[in-house]
Amino acid sequence: MNKTIASSNAPAAIGPYCQAKLCGNILVTSGQLGLVPGAGLAEGIEGQSHQALKNLGAVLKEAGMDYADVVKTTCFLADIKDFAAFNAVYAEYFKGEVPARSCVQVGALPMGGLVEVECIAVK
């Protein structure tokens, strides 16, 4: 059975989707932007990267998981030139046994965001 996951510590969905779905022991999240809940986008690539990953952490926590449970991330950058700056922040959240990952440049992100991160986690 699927369970919708919604954390009040992460921004609400900005469209017809949910923050995540828990399917048994597998969590599939929607992309998390660098939005500070109730305040808009964080400043710059580092600020938005931290906030996107904090938002992801809030969704993981709501599902009873944490970053160590993540097996795959997909990371979207508005500009691939931000790859090194994003990696530096990402490495603060994923340590030790890091998940598999894809990281790509996209044409644009919602709300003019610079980064978006989604994941699959298994408990």
Q: Would you give the DSSP letter of residue 59?
A: H
Angle between helices 83-93 and 44-62 (to 10 degrees): 30
CB atoms within 10 A of CB 6: 12
Is residue 119 annotated as a catalytic residue, yes or no? no
Which residue is catalytic, options 18, 23, 75, 103?
A: 103
Chain centre to alpha carbon of residue 29: 8
Q: Would you give the DSSP letter of residue 109?
A: -
Q: Among all residues, which ones are annotated catalytic?
A: 103
